[in-house]
Amino acid sequence: MGRIYKDINKNLISGMLEQAKALGYSAFIFALNEACDNEKITHGEKNLFHALDFSRVDGVVYAPYTFCSDEYHGYIDDFLAEHCPKPVVRIGLEDGQFTPVWYDDRSEIAEITLHLIYGHNCKKLLCLTGPREMTVADSRANGFLDAMQKAGLDHSGENVIFGDFWIISPRKLANEIADGIREKPDAVVCTNDTMAIALCDALAERGYSIPDDIRVTGYDGITEARMHLPPITTYRTSQEMLGRRAVCLLYEQISGEKCEPVRTEKGLILCRESCGCNPVHERNDPFDAEHRLTEEGYMDCTVSAAFHGADTLDELIDEMIYMRYKFMYNQDFESNRLFLCLCTDWDQVVSTDNALDYRRDGYSDTMFLIGSDGSRCNFRLTEILPEAMDTPDFSATFFLPVHFQDQCYGYIALDLQENIDNFNMEYIKYCREVNNALKYLSTKNELKRLIHRQTVSLLRDELTGLYVFENCRDMWTEMRESSIGNHEKLYMVVVTAGGIRHIENKFGSVESDKGIMTIADILSKSCRSRERLFKAADRSFVMIGSDNRPEKRVDEYIKKIDEKLWKHTITSSENHIIYAKTESKIVEDTASLGADDVADIIGSMLEIIDERAEKQLSGHLHYSKLLKLRRDIFIHPDRSWSSDVCSQKLNISRSYFGKIYFQTFGVNFIQDLQKSRLNCAKNLLTSTTLLLPDIAERCGYDYYNFMRVFKREFGMTPTQYRKNNQ
C-alpha cells in the first residue's frame, strides 16, 4: 500500500487487519515513503520489494490506487507477476491476472444522485467522472445513469462528462457553464471529492453561489471535503468493509474455503452545505480536521538536529529510539517495536574514475538488525525479520525502505499490535529523517576514514588508531605546560581491558581484537577535548589530563567508562563480557616531572594492575562462570541477586565467591550489583516515560529504597536527573 497515513487508506488497512486477525493471520505491510519524479529516489524506494521472500507469506493483498504514481503501481504489478507464486488479490476493477475486489461504487453513486433528485428536486443533472478508458470511471457514471433512469430523467449519457479525477476537468466544466457553452444544471454529481472541491472553487471564481445556483456533490469522504467552504456533500464508502472483503477473498484463494467478513456495514451519505443540506448531525471537530490537513506540511527540526548530531551509528540508534515519542503514543512504547535493518555495506562508498560506487540494487544477503527493544543481531535477508523477533500474538509489521536517493541502506520495520494510528505522517517524516541522517553519518564516516589514513603514522597503534605511549614522550611537555598555564593539577588513569585473554582463548584473536577496539572506542569517547588517550601495552591504555578538581574528574571518567561498558554488555549480541581494571594518580608537582618520570609512574601503575591479575588466577577455575554471571547481572538487574544466590550458582561458599569476584573484577559484588541497577535506572529515566515506581521495580528496588540510593549516589532525585538529561 501507499500513503497509509491518509485516513481513507488507514481505514482500508484497519479492515484488512481486523479480518486477518480473526482468521489467525499476522500481516507484513510494505509501503513507500516518497512519491516524486526523481528517478534516483524512485529507484531507492523500489528496493524495498527485494526484501520480500514469497515463501514466507501465504498470500498478498495489493492496493494500487493508494500509490500516487502510475509508474509505481505499474512496477509492482510487473514485480508480482514475475516473482509471486502465491495468490494475489488486487483492489480495483481492472482486469488482469490477479483476483480483483472493489466496493459497489455504482449503487453508491446512484444513491447520492437520487438524494439530489428526490431530496432537492433537481431535474437537470450532470455527472463529472474520470477518464473514459478507466473501469472505475465507467462504473460510477453508470450508477448516475441508473438513478436518472429510475427517476424517469434523461439517461442517454449526454449528461455524463468524462474528465480526469483531478482539478483540470472541473475547471473546464465551470468555464463552459459560465461562458454559456453548456446549459447551467441544477446539480453536478462529481465521482470523487477532489473534482467536487475544484468545481466549487472554479464556479465561485466565476460568480456562482454553491448551492444556491448549482448544487455539487462528491464521492470518497476525504477530510478536505469536510473542511471546504462550503463543506462538500459526499459519500463515505466503507473502506473497512472493502479491506475485510479483500482478505476474505484472499483466504478463499489460499484455503479453498468460503469466508464471510467478521462485520458488515454500508457506506454513508454525508449531507452538507454544497447540496443545500444542513449538516447538523455531523460532529464538528475543527482542531482535529486542521491538524490532519496541516500535519503533512509541518516539520519538526528537533528530530533532524538530534539525528545529525550523532557521530556514530550507536549514537544515531540511541537518538532514534529516544525520538520515537515524536510519532508513537506513550502507552505503546513497550508493546510496539521498531527495527532498523541495515545492509552490511550500508556506509561503504568507493570512488571510481567517473562516479561514486555504492549499493543501488537490492540488499545484502546478511542484514544487521537494531531494535528498540535492545535486540541486535545479524540475520539472513530471506527471513525478512529474524525468526527470534516473532511473537505468538497477532501483529502488523509495516515496512518502509531506507535509502538516500538511489543509495540503498536497508529497510525499517514498525511492529504494531493493534493501534495502527502510530503509522502516521509523523512516522513518515521520522523515517525520512533516518534516511538523511544515515547519509550524513556515512559521509562523516568516509571523511573520518580519509583523515585517519592521512594522519596515521608510526606514532599510532595499528589496531586502535591511538597514539602509542612509548613513542609519544614528547607530548608530555605540551600537556605539562598546559596544566601549569591553567593552574591545574595533572591526573593519570591507567585502564587494562579485562576479559580479553578469555575471549582470545575461547574465540580467537579476531574476536579479542574486536574487544580491544571496543574498549578503546569507549575510553576515547569518554575523554574531554584536552585529555589525551594512549595505547600503553597489549591490553592497556593511559589517559592523561588536567583539571582544577582532578579527583572529581577521575571519578567521573571511571564511572563513565563503567556505564558505557555496561551498556555495551546489555546491548551486545556477543556472549562475552569486557570490563575495565583501573588505577589512577594525581600529580601534585607537575613542573618537576619529566617524560622519563611520567613513564616510570605509568609503569608502576601497570604493575599494580598486573599484580591484581596474578591474584585473580586463584579464581581461574570459575572465570568463565563469573563472566557469564556478571553479564546476567548487567542484563537482568531486576532479579533477586544476592551473594547466597550467586555462590550457589557457582557451587562455592559465600565467602570464597566474594573473594574471587573482587579479585576478578576489582570491585565487590554488592557494589557491582548496585552500579548495574543504577545504570539501568539512568537508562530508563532518559529513554522511556515510565513512572518512577515502575523503574524502581525494573531495577530490583522497592520505591523508597530506590529514591534514597539514587539521591545518595548522584546528588539529585530521579525526577531531577530525568529533567536534566532530556
pLDDT digit string, tens, across residues 336-359 = 888 999 998 888 876 655 666 788
* Chain segment 49-58, per-residue pLDDT in tens: 888 889 989 9
Tell me which fold the domain 301-453 belongs to.
Beta-Lactamase (3.30.450)
pLDDT top residue among 360 and 508: 360
Specify the CATH number of the domain 636-726.
1.10.10.60
**CA–CA separation, 690 and 685 (whole Å):** 7
Residue 457's pLDDT is 55
The amino acid present at 666, given as its one-letter code, is G
Specify the CATH number of the domain 456-615.
3.30.70.270
Give the chain's radius of gyration (CA, Å): 33
Is the predicted pLDDT of residue 297 greater than 50, yes or no?
Answer: no
Q: Which of 102-111, 285-294, 367-376, 571-580 shows the highest mean pLDDT? A: 102-111
Per-residue CA distances from 416 to 29, 53, 395 (Å):
11, 21, 6
DSSP string, 537-566: SSSEEEEEEEESSHHHHHHHHHHHHHHHHH
Residue 597 neighbours by CB distance under 10 Å: 12
Task: Look up the pTM and report it.
Answer: 0.50
At 624, list the grid cell.
568463565
Pairing mode, if any, of strands 215-217 and 187-190? parallel
Topology alike, domains 7-102+241-255 and 105-236: yes
Residue 331's pLDDT is 63
Is the predicted pLDDT of residue 96 greater than 80, yes or no?
Answer: no
Is the predicted pLDDT of residue 294 greater than 50, yes or no?
Answer: no
Q: Which residues contact 385 (CB under 8 A, 6 or more apart)?
A: 339, 341, 369, 379, 397, 413
**CA–CA separation, 279 and 288 (whole Å):** 17
Q: Which CATH superfamily is domain 105-236 in?
A: Response regulator (3.40.50.2300)
Peptide bond into 185 cis (omega under 30): no
As beta bridge partners, residue 504 has: none
Tell me which fold the domain 7-102+241-255 belongs to.
Rossmann fold (3.40.50)
Is the predicted pLDDT of residue 285 greater than 60, yes or no?
Answer: no
Q: Please give the backbone phi and psi of residue 487, each rounded to the nearest 5 degrees, phi first.
A: 55, 45
At 124, list the grid cell.
437537470
**CA–CA separation, 492 and 545 (whole Å):** 7
Residue 125 neighbours by CB distance under 10 Å: 22
| 539 close to 494: Cβ distance less than 8 angstroms | no
* Chain segment 624-669, per-residue pLDDT in tens: 778 788 878 887 888 888 888 888 888 888 888 888 888 777 788 8
At 381, list the grid cell.
535477508
Q: What are the residue boundaries of the structural domains of the chain, listed by start?
A: 7-102+241-255, 105-236, 301-453, 456-615, 636-726
H/E segment holding residue 401: strand 396-404
Residue 352's pLDDT is 59
- Farthest CA pair distance, the chain: 111
* Chain segment 438-481, per-residue pLDDT in tens: 988 888 888 877 775 665 455 777 788 888 887 776 777 788 88
